[in-house]
Amino acid sequence: MGELILSLLLALSVWNNTEAQSVNQVREMKNTTNTKEETQIAKLDKIKQVDTYRWDRFELTAYTNNQGRNVHNKDYGRTASGKMTKAGETIAADWRVLPKGTVVYIDGVGRRVVQDKGGAIKGHKIDVYVRTESEARQFGRKKHVKVRVIKWGENKDRKQSGTAN
């Protein structure tokens, strides 16, 4: 894949001739990209190396603010915790399993914070907030997804020893 990126960058530099003047500059740009990717992997590895909590399996779905809500309502986008929904951050969960404010790492999704709850979110289910209905449909339903608690939210003492498998 790296050679493909190198080839594309070289082609763009020849066509545009403003980004890179030589193959060496393209290779340098490629190495910078690799360094950024390695840094992201290293950050992810640090999360995975924290073995304080075990992985649990959850069923995942996705939701948006648009599902049956009026955009002109003053509470449009407000979660049960009082915060506004934010793509890449907000998830809804059963607060008896993952209390409000709990920070989790979801395999294949990333780091998220429990800020919402819903009527259909019971037990080991998580609803991931996305911006659009088409993103939610594309996300679909994912079963048996690994989830690890990074930091417990409210009522953490009760939950640390009590999550089901």
With a cut of 60, say whether residue 48 has pLDDT above it: no
Q: Could you read off the pLDDT of 87-133 as tens digits, one per residue?
A: 999 999 999 999 999 999 999 999 999 999 988 899 999 999 999 99
Q: How far apart are alpha carbons 118 and 68 in whole angstroms?
A: 13
Q: What is the percentage of the chain residues whose pLDDT exceeds 90? A: 47
| CB proximity list for 149: less than 8 A, separation 6 or greater | 53, 56, 98, 102, 103, 104, 163
Amino acid (1-letter code) at residue 101 = G
In terms of Cβ atoms closer than 10 Å to its own Cβ (0-12, 13-18, 19+), residue 91 is buried
Q: How far apart are alpha carbons 165 and 58 in whole angstroms?
A: 9
**Res 89: pLDDT:** 96
Q: Which residue has the higher pLDDT, 105 or 39?
A: 105
Q: Which residue has the higher pLDDT, 21 or 86?
A: 86
